[in-house]
Chain A
Amino acid sequence: MSIPDKLKDILLQVAKPARYVGGEYNLPNMDKPCKERVCLCFCDKYEVGMSNVGTRILYHMLNDTDGVVCERSYAPDLDMAALLKANGLPLFSVETKKDVKEFDLVGFSVQFELQFTNIVYMLDLMGVEYFAKDRGEDIPPIVAGGPCVVNPMPFADFFDAVLIGEGEKNLAELVELHIACREKKMSKKQFLLEASKLDGVYVPAIHNKTKRAVVADLDNAYYPTKILVPNCDIVHDRSSIELFRGCANGCRFCQAGFYYRPIRKRNVDTLQRQACELMDCTGYDEMGLLSLSTSDYPQLKELVDGIKIEADKRKVNLALPSLRLDSFEAEIYEEMQGASLTFAPEAGTQRLRDVINKNVSDADILSSLTGALKYGVKNVKLYFIMGLPTETEEDLQGIVDIVQLVKRLHKEVGSSKLLNITVSTSIFIPKPLTPFQWERQISIDEMYDKQKFMREKLRIKNVKYSWHDAKSSLIEAVLARGDKSIAKSIVKAYELGCVFDSWSENFDYDKWIAAFEQSGVNYQKFLDGFDEEEELPWDIIDNGVSKKYLLGERRKAYNAQCTPNCLKKCNGCGANKLGRCKI
Chain B
Amino acid sequence: MIVLKHLKEGDVSYVSHKDILRVLQRGLKRAKIDVKYSQGYVPHMLTYTSTPVPLGVRSAAEYFAIDCADRDKDDVLKRYNAAMPNGMRATAAFCCEKNPNLAGIVIASDYVATGAEPLAKEIEDICGRESYVIDTVKKGEKVKKDIARLVFGLRVDGNTLYMRLACGNENLRADSFVEHINEKFGCKIKINDIVRTAQFAMKDGKMTDVEEILK
Contacts and interface: CB of A to CB of B under 8 A. Distances in A.
Contacts of A232: 15-16, 19
A331 interface: no
Contacts of B12: 23, 231
Contact of A231 (B19, B30, B83): B19
A11 B13 CA distance: 11
A283 B26 contact: yes
Interface stretch (A14-22, A266-274, A495-503, A525-533): A14-22
Given A22-B11, A282-B30, A314-B29, A12 B19 contact: no
A25 interface: yes
Given A233-B19, A280-B30, A12 B192 contact: yes
Label chain B's interface by main secondary structure: helix
Nearest to A237: B22
Given A9-B190, A18-B14, A231 B23 contact: yes
A25 B27 contact: yes
A17 B55 contact: yes
A24 to B, nearest CB: 6
A85 interface: no
B159 interface: no
Interface string B1-24: 000000000111011100110110
Given A8-B192, A23-B86, A25-B85, A17 B30 contact: no
Interface string B114-137: 000000000000000000000000
A282 B26 CA distance: 7
Nearest to B37: A315
B142 to A, nearest CB: 17
Contacts of B15: 18, 231-232
Interface in B161-194: 190-192
A24 B190 contact: no
Nearest to B84: A25
B28 interface: yes
B87 interface: yes
Interface in A1-34: 8-9, 11-12, 16-18, 20-25, 27
A229 interface: yes
Given A11-B14, A23-B11, A23-B12, A283 B19 contact: no
A24 B20 CA distance: 12
A281 B29 CA distance: 9
Interface of A: 8-9, 11-12, 16-18, 20-25, 27, 229, 231-233, 280-285, 314-315
A280 B83 CA distance: 10
Given A280-B30, A284-B26, A21 B11 contact: yes
B28 A11 contact: no
Interface of B: 10-12, 14-16, 19-20, 22-23, 25-30, 37, 43, 55-56, 83-87, 190-192
Contacts of B14: 11-12, 17-18, 20-21
A17 B191 CA distance: 13
Nearest to B25: A283
A438 B87 CA distance: 55
Nearest to A17: B14
Contact of B10 (A23, A282, A283): A23
A232 B11 CA distance: 12
B19 A23 contact: no
A176 B23 CA distance: 36
Contacts of A283: 25-30, 83
Contacts of B37: 315
Given A8-B190, A8-B192, A232-B16, A23 B85 contact: yes
Contacts of A24: 85
A231 B16 CA distance: 9
Nearest to A97: B11
Nearest to B24: A283
A178 B22 CA distance: 40
Given A231-B19, A283-B28, 6 more contacts: A18-B19, A24-B85, A25-B84, A229-B85, A282-B30, A283-B30
A521 B141 CA distance: 48
Nearest to A5: B190
Determine which residue in B11, B16, B84 has the highest number of CB atoms from chain A within 10 A of its CB, and name it: B11
Contacts of A315: 29, 37, 43
B6 to A, nearest CB: 14
Contacts of A282: 26, 30
Nearest to B31: A283
Contacts of B28: 283
A522 B147 CA distance: 65
A17 B56 contact: yes
24 contacts: A9-B190, A11-B14, A11-B192, A12-B192, A16-B16, A20-B14, A21-B14, A22-B11, A23-B87, A25-B23, A25-B27, A25-B84, A27-B85, A231-B12, A231-B15, A231-B19, A231-B20, A232-B19, A233-B19, A233-B22, A282-B30, A283-B26, A285-B29, A315-B37
